[in-house]
Structure 1
């Protein structure tokens, strides 16, 4: 019997307890093999060096994987509509806390959905609704989308919430000396009369006599007009603009830059704005949009016309016809109290016209008849 028959030398390496972290060691003749515990892919040969638990990206798609410091575990932060350890399960329910932007989950057993607040849409209220999709702004205005709302940036010449109100630039009577003002979009034009002297208008007036050209310009007289030949650095119809001072275009919203000396000023008359640089929007009632002496009241982005009795319409532009029902009998003539031109001519009308008493009518009766309605 050999010496090693019953007392064989143990050549395996498992007696050294070399495997770490609760791993199992399987011994063979000349080597050992460590079978690591439930995170085998995260340990090296002897299971003594733990690696990042989401080193192999276990979470599905672009889902965020969160590691717990000091522990051999990970957690997937699933987006709405997914569940499972690695977000591999698609759910039909909107779920608790899955509706975004304040949406409320309607737990219908057949088809659960998120009830979205105004301004949002999508299965989980994740889509911001585009309020500009219906093109609510008019006349070339730019629509800016917001949360459950929008705003319109009007082009010059229009105003109002939807930029549908045209600004009448002629309301302020900008044209002088009997000129006719022609209202245009975002501007106005003065149609000037041609001034002549003598009985038969054969002598044309020297328009340069009043020295209209400024800043050392030369005035050139023409038929019914004049032209200014500006000195260097000046421009404009009257050479009123200093090129250096106004080169940066400091006046906003179409304001006219007027230079003089070493300074400039902004003429905001035709822009509908006010302020040093025409930066402040004038109240809408500034243009006097209400008719028949109605009172104009500005609101946030519009105006309201308060009509006198006897008038109606958004701008009080319509005179209510009280005689339309033919109230006067016996061939009596019906005359509205709003007929301003008939005051002083008809005995039945008051002595003077007043908007306060312009509602109603009077009947001018035929001879032999009397009474309020003849």
Structure 2
């Protein structure tokens, strides 16, 4: 407070500012013509929201230093003039550079009319950065990321959605819209991620939905057993040096595959079992059998064929089988199949009429003797040898 003034008159709840200048005695003074005026003018005050859009402005001018003849008075703090006015903030400008000062002529009515000082001032209110509207009541911060994309109207502050975005907050994306830079780029975004070039740059990036991460949204960013990783899959943490991000991989239980272990494992052709390691070939032929393979790789004889170990013998008598090449059926235990006869291992020919001597090629080793049987042959081994073909030497 200054001497000679009442406290309530100098009270400024919205703030106060001051500056000092050295001037010569003159009838008039233009503060803006002072050499360093730009360092303190215009005086600026940050204003809070005012309920009635009206502010009271008080201006005090003091003598702090005065020289008269050979006498110099310092720090006199003597009031020269005081001015006050009321200014309404009904309409504010978007920025300081876009506004126009409203000029007012103020009179110091505390002095008599013959010695009344006058002060010409210019007043203006404008919105701080990110605020818009006549009363600066609308806030808008332009944004361009994976959640929304918009700019702000320079007058009203209304959000202006970028191409491909819509909604009040420009947070909804038209999936059919593709930025030109993305349409000409080979970047692939997985798991419902989308390509976006931020702030009109030429660097497309994958925007990943919640739960995914990585340069191509190919990794899991969160993981929970039986929630993220299904069917008993386990969450294994890992790190991607390219995207510099941690992620998770579902380690699937046997029989399951996929990002979430959601798919039943599909084995390559002719392989079966939990780990696809059991081979099973179903040829449906006379030489290899007539069967299909179950999910575990086991044989399932086709209807009418047996035994389960080979599926080589047809249960229907050949003379009753319409598949036989002749009405009399196949000979020597042969089975009818697609107009031909499937012969036992000891017979051959169109109707299995020709016997085969399995010992003709002498399959028994180390001078073993070969004897034909109904199912093939049997070896009688010489001394010191054993096994079906006499191929193993006995210990003496």
Q: Same fold, TM exceeding 0.5?
A: no
- Bigger radius of gyration: 2
Q: Between Structure 1 and Structure 2, which shows a larger proportion of strand residues? A: 2
